[in-house]
Structures are given as structure tokens and as C-alpha cells.
Structure 1
């Protein structure tokens, strides 16, 4: 697929003129290898920018998702949360056929793909940057979402109460995928019962990234810290401790198909308990039930990635990827079942 198939640069330049972006557009190149959205890095005049838009064949909610990202990124300015700076967005689908936006390019290492010399040669740098993922997450949870205009972004009331049934229903929806024989995921019913029986009092509402793991941060190549949190498409207002649970359940402290492979294979990362301690130093939230949030995160993660396995049965996803993610789902469910004492 060529760039011309995804972005009409002439139309983009005309829109830019009206928006105040000046100079020629050049050096356009794709970023990353994902299929969820189109991400292009480009030079616009003397600015280094990134354009993000839905995939070539947008899903029904793709434009709404992009509009949500525009709203979140623009609101985060000045909060101290590391994120790409928002430049401009367009919700008028007459311009490119889809909603899109531009953000400042961030020079950083993605722990899931490759890391630079700072992290390849320095175990202390790997440890410091890894711990900073928890610090950055605590900063996000501390943001007053109402003060920055995101008070209506989600439905925080009953957030935790809704989770188990929501994801059980999501798993049941795969039965409608042609060829899918039904899930063979372990511990689903036992974990659902445990989660319901042990649900803690919900933490005060705050911003939830929704997919916080090592693959969704960029590490500063010069100073061992998080340069930016990326991929805000699942951001909502709910219980922020679910983000910490998500970071813990995806943490590459054990063999398995987890996030952050490029960083993890070098070794020297902190243990999950150290992430909790680091988060606690930057937060006044009660972390006594963090195991429950970790179990919920593993339950949800397994169900989400099992969807690719289901679609692979219908020829809608690569079979090898589907099998890989099914094994990852089983691995995480086994892990959180042990954590729950099942």
C-alpha cells in the first residue's frame, strides 16, 4: 500500500494552509508496523510531525476514536504527563475522508521494537527508565480530568462493577465468528466469580489510558525516562488503578509473549513489586488491592487478544498470529489464576 492510498498530500497541504501550517510537506514515511491505524512521520516546513489517521479501511468507530484522541492529547498539554504535543486536528471528513490529527514527533526508543545505546549498554538506565513507567502512570492518574475539560470522557460511576460482565459478553461475541469453535481459555468462570466476590471499593475517578504497557511508551534516548506515552485511543475516565494492573500483568519479568521484548531481553528490569512501590511514591491512592486490579487486567487482556484467534478461524487474521495470541491469553490467565489463589 502506497502513501497515496492513505493520505492525499495535496489535500493535506491545502488544509494546512487554512490551519496555519506553512511550508512544503516532505520526507513522508510510515511509523511502526501495526495495522490498527495509519501513522506517518513527515517534515512540514521546518517542523518534524507525526500524522495519525484510521486504517485504509476504517472500522465503524474509527473516526470517533480519532476525535477522542484529539480531545485527550489537546487536553493533556501542561499537565506534566509525558505525551506527544498536539499540533492540529481535523474532524471534517471532506478533507482526507477520515478524521486525522498531527502531533509533534518524539524521538524515543520503543521498548517493544528496539532501544538505543543508552539502554543496550547501561543496566542502570534500563532499570531507571522502567521504573519511570510507573512514575509517569502515577502522574496521569493524578490529573484533575474535570479541570482540563475531560469530565464527560467516560462513565466512572460503576466502572469496576461493569468490568466482569462486559468482558464475558465480549468473549461470548466471538461465538458469532465463522469457524470459531468456542473459547478454550482456562479459569474464565472461576476468575469471574473471584473478581466479583473480591471487588474492592472503587478508587476515585481519574484518567485511564486503557492499554498501558511497555510497547505504548517511548523512552528518551539520552536520559533514562519516559519521553512520551502513546496510543491514547482507549483513554477514558474510570478507575486509574486498572492501568497499573495492566502494566503489571504485561510486565516482562518472566518468560512468555509479553510487551517490551527489546528491553526485556537485555535484562535488569525491576520486579513488579518495585513498580508498585514507585507508583505509590507518586500517588496517594490505596494500593492494598492491587492484586485484584492485576487479575482483572489479565482477565480482560486474555479476552481481548483471544479475538484475533477467533478471527483467524474465519480467515480474517493471520493464523500464526492468532495461535501466538491464544497462547499468550492462556499464559496470562494461568498467571492471574495463581495470583488469585485458584
Structure 2
């Protein structure tokens, strides 16, 4: 079959894939499959990136590239993701195998990389398969998420070649000012007032005044939650953590704090529902913390600081969407919904620091 014949009928998704150039590039790589790409399907991949499942002979590959309208750092972010995936090879962190990266934007209009397809689904809303019907499978979801965080915490950035991935100096002391400045930056948007986010002064002050005694630097995924994890439908386990674009150096305990912010249990402030249903059978936050302590071999004495920081950081980031809605760049109802969640996070943060 010629390349032209194989490409006939393949969607280019509005110019996101240049099939002649892509197939020519693929032919020069050591990749699963043979010949040109014969089938393609667009997968869910977030707002800033596009993910495609490619069929190549009897094999499949996943291609990840930025959106069509590139931001100034889009290509660098893509290369950063590829670098992290390559560095994780052989580690205990569940992740898709890295295949190849293209550093030449001229091939399809942006840098991109190819990786292993993962079996399963990223949980959101109603659970699938045995996760919906078996409480033991639901209990395992929390266990798996925490073990993945602990496995990433165990990776030595220097040994993995990632010691320059972030700014570790005074990381803990810089967190409040870092995210508060992000929040204050939205004030330039007409109609947005950073004071609309409740408890930000109180929680920020507590974080600055109560820096943890056990301070470590390692790799942080940056957004470790159900939306960025694929769970197998064949067994109650993670088939791989995805979306590594926010990976950086910092204290890995923040990933645990991030997981806890996404959780739900009795006693939480009103205004939030579980991310997935059904929720019965899921571990409590206390059980997740105990499991992380065992898996990571770390004291949890400073856990409230990381939990409160996760609430603080995420709330400040989410307010960017609320500010964008004030400028008409995001639907007003989306902005209000996101602001509602940011407010919930700060209320939860206040609850945490109150003990």
C-alpha cells in the first residue's frame, strides 16, 4: 500500500496533522508497527493539548501535540513532557512507555511525541466496569493513586537527569508569594478583584508562619488526580499516569496534598460533590495519608501544611479562569463554577489550618 493510498480519508483535524510529513518522519524512527499510519482517532487530552490514537499496521501509538494556536511556550512544554516520560523509564511510576519525540515544528506545525497507548479510562462522573459495581475496586483506586505519588517521590531527580527541571532553592518559603503574585496578576483584568477569593490572607499567612520542618525536594507531577490517571478495566490498578506537562522540582508531598483536595468525605465544607460516582467504598483521607506514610517512609507531621498549600495553590490558579470570564474570554457560567470551587478550596484550607 502506498503512502498516498494509506493517507486517503484520514482526517487532519483542521490542520493539526500533516500526514505526508508525519509518515515520512515516522518511517525514519524505530517505532511499533510497519508502514504509514492507516487509522486515527482523536482522544480526550485537555484544553491545551491534542491527543491522537494512531493505527500503524497491527500496532497503535499515541501522538500528543499542542493546540493549533501555539502559545509562546507550547513547544518547550511538549519537549519537557517527553523528557520526563523518557526519564521515568524503568521506574516504579506507572506511566506510558515513551517512544519518540520530534523537536522540529516544521513536521506537523508543532513539536510532538509518541508514546504507548494505555488500556482503561480516566475516571470522571459515573465510574466504568467493575469500579461501578465492586466496592473493593473503588477502594483500590485511592490506594493506587497514593502509591503512584509515593513511587514518583522515590525517583531521584539527579539520577534521572531532571535536576534542572525547576527551582528548588527555598521552595517551601517561596510558595505563598509565588501563588499570591499569580492571583494578584489577574487584577489587571477589568471586573476582577482578587479579594473575591475568601480567606486567602488568612491561609497564606498561616502557611508562611508554619513552614514544615521536614523539607525535601523531588519530582512533583503537579496535577495528580483522577482526570490525569488511567485506570485499567481488567484489574483494579492504574495503567498509567498521564499529562506530565506541569512536572517540576519541589516537595513531593504536595502531590499527596493535591490528591486530598480532590477527595470528598463527611465534614467537608458544603458546596462540593464527589468527582466520581458511586463514592461509597472509597478510602478516607486519613487512610490515604497512612498509606502514603508507609509507602514513602515519611512522617506525616507536616501533612496539614501540604494539604493547605494544595488548596491555596489550586484556588489561586483557578481564579485565572474566573478572571478570564470577566473579560469575556470564558463563558460566564464556567467562570462562576470555577470560582465556586476555588472558594470551596480556600474554605477547606481555612478548615485545615484551624485543626
Q: TM-score, normalised by structure 2?
A: 0.91
What corresponds to 1:286 in structure 2?
Answer: 299
* Alpha carbons 1:91, 1:100 under 8 Å: kept: yes
The one of 292, 296, 301 equivalent to 2:314 is 301
Q: How many correspondences in the alignment?
A: 340
Cα offset, 1:26, TM superposition: 2.8
**2:223 aligns to what?**
211
Residue 25 of structure 1 aligns to a residue whose secondary structure is coil
1:75 has 2:61 as partner: no
**Structure 2 contact 132–278 (Cα < 8 Å) conserved:** no
1:177–1:45 Cα change, 3 Å: farther
Match of 1:165 among 161, 177, 181: 177
Q: Name the Cα RMSD after superposition.
A: 1.8
Q: 2:284 aligns with which of 250, 271, 296?
A: 271
Judged with a 3 Å threshold, the aligned counterparts in structure 2 of structure 1 residues 60 and 132 are, in CA distance, closer, same or farther, namely same
* 1:14 pairs with 2:24: yes
1:31 positional shift: 1.1
Partner of 1:106, secondary structure, is coil
Deviations 1:255-296 (A, max 9, x none): 6556x723x434221111111111111112222110110000
C-alpha distance in structure 1 between counterparts of 2:339 and 2:258, whole Å: 18
Q: Which structure: larger Rg?
A: 2
Partner of 2:7: none
**Contact in 2 for aligned 1:106/1:228 (Cα 8 Å):** yes
Given that 1:179 and 1:313 are in contact with CA atoms closer than 8 Å, whether structure 2 keeps it comes out as yes
* Alignment partner, residue 337 of structure 1: 350
| Alignment partner of 1:139 is 2:157 | no
Distance change in 2, residues 1:292/1:181 (3 Å): closer
Is 1:84 paired with 2:96? yes
Which residues of structure 1 form unaligned runs of 5+?
A: none
Query: Cα distance, 1:201 vs. partner?
Result: 2.8
State the alpha-carbon separation in 1 of the partners of residues 40 and 272 from structure 2: 32
CA shift at 1:33, angstroms? 6.2
* Partners of 1:203 and 1:286 within 8 A in 2: no
Q: 1:225 to 1:341 in 2, by over 3 A?
A: same
Q: Which runs of 4+ in 1 moved over 6 A?
A: none
How high is the TM-score relative to the length of structure 1?
Answer: 0.94
The secondary structure found in structure 2 opposite 1:93 is coil
Shift of 1:161: 1.1
Is 1:317 the counterpart of 2:327? The answer is no
